[in-house]
Structure 1
Amino acid sequence: VDVVPLDEVADVIENYHLCIVKNKRLDSGLIAHAKQMKLIMQYGVGLE
């Protein structure tokens, strides 16, 4: 598990197959860099 600072996500996202997002929005420009990405998951716990 790697924790990547928000300002470095764009530089390293191309190296990952899975991304668990806590509180950052991934826009289409950022996702375009994620060539190997298989899953993007929003982390959360609670009831709505």
Structure 2
Amino acid sequence: MMMTAAGTIAPAKGLGLGAGVAGLQAIATAKRLGAVVSAFDVAPG
């Protein structure tokens, strides 16, 4: 939750499909900005 002068804002939700190099960077950026992120990839590991 983020507190602002106007009240409380719930974090954004994101879904990352494909956790390659670009996907992982996008997920890291979204998390750094406060989003709740889930990631899925077809390759295990």
Q: State the TM-score, normalizing by the size of structure 1.
A: 0.29
Per residue, is there more helix in 1 or in 2?
1
Q: State the TM-score, normalizing by the size of structure 2.
A: 0.30
Per residue, is there more strand in 1 or in 2?
2
